[in-house]
A and B are shown apart, each in its own frame.
Chain A
């Protein structure tokens, strides 16, 4: 009979529990618990609390903690209670500490000693209590303290203790595998224990071990099969039966282990077929636990080397699950179906109606599971229907975790299988609208790139049509009240680039819209930045078309406000815009050519246009530029070069500083005070930009030359307190320069839509796409839906399955054209060219070359070929800007280029003071050239040069980003697309 009042609890406590139980509201409950905490705090602190009373307090603490309140003030008393000799009190203490403390709590150390003692106790109940605590509380540091005792307990006469000892060892393995690596054979021994509970505990541990690495355990397959056989034949003691099923939990564990051991291993799998058949036969009951075993058996059958007969059985069970009325079984059936069709894709068709039932079921869990299944079987033939479903589902959920997941899946499917660019853009817009800022920024950049590059074929008409429709749709979208920042950024960019391209809208309209955006989002700097740059572009296009552009006063006010913004980025953009308005048309046309986002930027990496300045400076007595290694030899101004991240060593220096020398025309020693040196040096840097002779060469410089990437603290940018590096200012100046120059270039590439998108394979055909929408619209009819989901079934198959599935129109004309691997980010035309200063040296840009549809959508090599002649690679060229070696050569040798006199005159000599270092100077220039785009990148943090997925350029720089991309692609294939495992998968579904 249920005792309503627990033992050892006072009336007081019972009353509180009752009061909480009867509390009408959460607030009332809170109030009672808070009062209880106060009482306990007082009582527990009283001196000489009787032990029995203390036990009650601790139980009350447990209760309080369970209800979600903090009872940490009483933890120490619980710890004390574990020291008690009375088992009852000890157990209470252990219970409390296991509930209170996590393994990394400070108090654990106070318990270890007690645990050690208790593990050696004669009373097996004490041992058990201690072992339970061990499993919860012992962390990596304290494992060695209790390990010997736990190992001893493996021999304990009581199987109860043995079992717990095995589980404790298992726990140790999970926490810190190396601590018990020498004890792993113990698990194998324990599996053969006479007591099933010990066996079962050992199986848990072995399952973990085999998951980590199945190879060493292959020879145990026979043993596992044997155990499973015995279990299935009811050889275990009766108490282990559960609802008439012999030891089901052990069976399931064994099935899991067999699945791991037999995966892709025919000889091993051969041993299992018989026992699997037996298990299925014997469990063909209608109990829940029987179903659990059957499901596990399906998992095993589908992961080991396939056996036709067993697969048939698995398929049979799956269909039974799917047809069952019980939702749990349906759910399991959907999961099992996903596994079975990996091996045998034809199987899906038979169950399409069941699947669609599940998809339309009101049960959210079931719906999600079904979407998972569909996600796994998405092909280009059914992507529209499936994505449509997923978007529909996304509308219904609020949970951001789910949303992020679904959004990323939709994006992935859309990128892989999109039938047309039009569709892709529409889909992306929907995703942005629904998931908003949960979408990674890269997706937005991909979208911009796609719009910029169009289909990548000669069909310019189609491209401009695409852009017009994008502009059209975005203008509509803008009317909606609340839009996520990322979508607004895309919209602004597209409007700026193509808003007036087809002449439908006047510059005035677009500028008005963009100003509205700026005003509607006062807090979002990124959006404002995009918008003002877009306005700049529109104005520039107008000016270069020979029109006179005058901003309306209200718009002018908006820009003025931005020019006074706190954000320097916005300021710069605003000033750029204002500068543009006053420039002559030819200059504007050079700086900001129309529709040139896909052009490559030509970078004069020799910086030849600076030669004149350099020569003047040299004539005036400046030192010639010394390349990095020479400067290193002189004593390490290594941090001048941003590319060497670690800089020279900053170890303590014990010798006195040498007197610094100043590289002004006449070398005059300066006062040796370090502080002054710094200032002096800074001034030098600013005015002369010549390498500074070092203070000291006392520390072997070759150390750094040999091992510049060694694992030291990264100190660049940090002021050097000791050692040779007293020039914090140097590094800051140079890094600022670098930032500026990279900003300029990156800004330019942003202008170009950041990433070249390889969309070669997809075609844009508006008629086709409208045609394609039809099946979706009438998809309320399940069978049509089925047809579109499961591909265009051939007539014979329709007859076979008896489902009146009409051949879908979609599948018929949907050639299986995967989008040429966007995934691998082959940026074949690196964007933004033709805007850089050296317009007269720029080669004809490598326009996107039409590309035959690659046969494999993730085939890396295909996407890479024929694009981006390394010469035109802006990142490579950009390196020239920061790479002093190249810079030096320019400073000394390259012939002057008289390009862009206009531009130079704008920013001209006022900024360019005498210079010997080509590397840092041109920042102003690059900023200029990047001016139309401006360094938004710095703001959004998106287009940082080294994160640019410029395929070839990346390939040049890193150790092997190419390889990692490839790996990524492989992982994708393996993880997501089942096609690799079985290339023939779904071939019938493709129609």
Chain B
């Protein structure tokens, strides 16, 4: 099972997040996005969540105004991929607390960090939501600490130079 890329596209066809696990040039990427958003956004709600595309399959799922798409090999399990998408969304949801498109727009780098904990090199690496949450939390604490340190340091400097 290999995921070739992950795409998050808004209903208007705007790119919200892209992650490429197989090599694509910038030109190909643009083409892929254009092609796929054309196909996926025009599909009706009751149709299946799969699109066969260039000998691969793209699995997509819509959450509110955002489409999550993953591209997999022709012989991979579509339903499983659908659940991987959902798994990722649940983790995002847990992290951001009722995640919405804006969260991802402004914190796309955080979404990247989370995605990196869920998928590595196109494979699902962690199926436990808890442990992903733990890692991300650990990183955040570290950052908070760093901020505090920086804050206290600047305070100290400020006081010293007073």
> Which A positions have Cβ atoms within 8 angstroms of B?
1-7, 9, 14, 17, 20-21, 29, 59, 62-63, 65-70, 86-88, 91-92, 95, 98-99, 102-104, 125, 128, 132, 135-136, 160, 163-164, 167, 170-171, 174, 196-197, 200-201, 204, 207, 237, 239-240, 242, 247-250, 252-253, 256, 288-289, 291-292, 295-296, 299, 326-328, 330-332, 362-366, 368-369, 401-402
Contact = CB atoms under 8 A, between A and B. Distances in A.
B63 interface: no
B103 A95 contact: no
A383 to B, nearest CB: 23
Contacts of B129: 239
Contacts of B120: 132, 135, 164, 167, 171
Nearest to A2: B103
A365 B53 CA distance: 10
Contact of A288 (B44, B46, B82): B82
Contacts of A365: 47-48, 50-52
A103 B21 CA distance: 11
A716 B131 CA distance: 65
Interface in B35-77: 44, 46-52, 54-55, 77
Contact of A167 (B19, B55, B125, B127): B125
B27 to A, nearest CB: 9
A635 to B, nearest CB: 52
A319 to B, nearest CB: 17
B44 to A, nearest CB: 8
A10 to B, nearest CB: 12
Given A21-B105, A328-B82, A362-B47, 10 more contacts: A7-B143, A62-B108, A66-B17, A68-B15, A86-B146, A171-B120, A174-B121, A292-B83, A365-B47, A365-B50
A24 to B, nearest CB: 10
A9 B83 CA distance: 32
A59 B109 contact: yes
Contacts of A65: 26
Interface string B116-148: 100011011111111100010011001100100
Contact of B139 (A125, A291, A326): A125
Contacts of B128: 196-197, 237, 239-240
Contacts of A328: 48-50, 78-79, 82
Nearest to B143: A88
A364 to B, nearest CB: 8
B147 to A, nearest CB: 8
A63 B14 CA distance: 13
A6 B131 contact: no
User: Which 3 interchain pairs have the tightest Cβ spacing?
Assistant: A292-B79, A327-B48, A239-B130
Contacts of B77: 252, 292, 295-296, 299
A196 B127 CA distance: 9
B113 A3 contact: no
B55 A401 contact: yes
B48 A288 contact: no
A330 B142 contact: no
B123 A204 contact: yes
A331 B143 CA distance: 46
Contact of B105 (A1, A17, A125, A204): A17
A2 B100 contact: yes
22 contacts: A2-B97, A6-B110, A87-B142, A87-B146, A91-B113, A95-B113, A102-B23, A104-B23, A132-B120, A204-B124, A239-B129, A248-B83, A248-B127, A288-B82, A288-B86, A289-B83, A292-B82, A295-B79, A328-B78, A328-B82, A330-B48, A331-B50
B119 to A, nearest CB: 10
Contacts of B78: 328, 331-332
Given A365-B48, A366-B48, A1 B97 contact: yes
Interface of B: 1, 14-15, 17-19, 23, 26, 29-30, 33, 44, 46-52, 54-55, 77-80, 82-84, 86-87, 96-100, 102-103, 105-110, 112-113, 116, 120-121, 123-131, 135, 138-139, 142-143, 146
A250 B127 contact: yes
A103 B100 CA distance: 33
B38 to A, nearest CB: 11
Given A88-B143, A167-B123, A201-B125, A14 B83 contact: no
B146 A62 contact: no
Contacts of B108: 62-63, 66
Nearest to B130: A239
Contacts of A249: 80, 83-84, 124, 127
Nearest to A166: B125
Contacts of B99: 2
Nearest to B15: A67
A288 B125 CA distance: 20
Nearest to A401: B54
B146 A99 contact: no
Contacts of A174: 121
A363 B47 contact: yes
A35 B84 CA distance: 37
Contacts of B26: 65, 68-70
A4 B97 contact: no
Contacts of A70: 26
Contacts of A401: 54-55
A846 to B, nearest CB: 44
A407 B77 CA distance: 27
| B99, B125, B130 pick with most chain A CB within 10 angstroms | B125
B126 A103 contact: no
B79 A239 contact: no
Contacts of A1: 97-98
A196 B129 CA distance: 13
Contacts of A103: 23
A98 to B, nearest CB: 8
Given A288-B83, A365-B51, A6 B109 contact: yes
A66 B8 CA distance: 11
A163 to B, nearest CB: 6
A425 B79 CA distance: 42
Nearest to A171: B121
Contacts of A17: 105-106
Given A17-B106, A366-B47, A197 B126 contact: yes
Given A135-B120, A328-B82, A92 B109 contact: yes
B131 to A, nearest CB: 7
Contacts of B96: 2-3
A326 B112 CA distance: 32
A289 B79 contact: yes
A53 B133 CA distance: 28
Nearest to B23: A102
Contacts of B48: 326-328, 330-331, 363, 365-366
Contacts of B44: 362-363
Contacts of A5: 106
A152 to B, nearest CB: 19
Contacts of B29: 68
A21 B142 contact: no
A242 B124 CA distance: 14
A332 B76 CA distance: 11
Contacts of A250: 127
A68 B14 CA distance: 11
Contacts of B46: 327
Contacts of B121: 135-136, 167, 170-171, 174
B61 to A, nearest CB: 10
A237 B49 CA distance: 31
Contacts of B127: 196-197, 200, 240, 242, 247-250
Contacts of A69: 26
A247 B15 CA distance: 32
B139 A4 contact: no
Nearest to A197: B126
Contact of A160 (B50, B103, B131, B143): B131
Given A99-B19, A249-B80, A2 B142 contact: no
A800 B88 CA distance: 47
Contacts of A3: 96, 103, 106-107
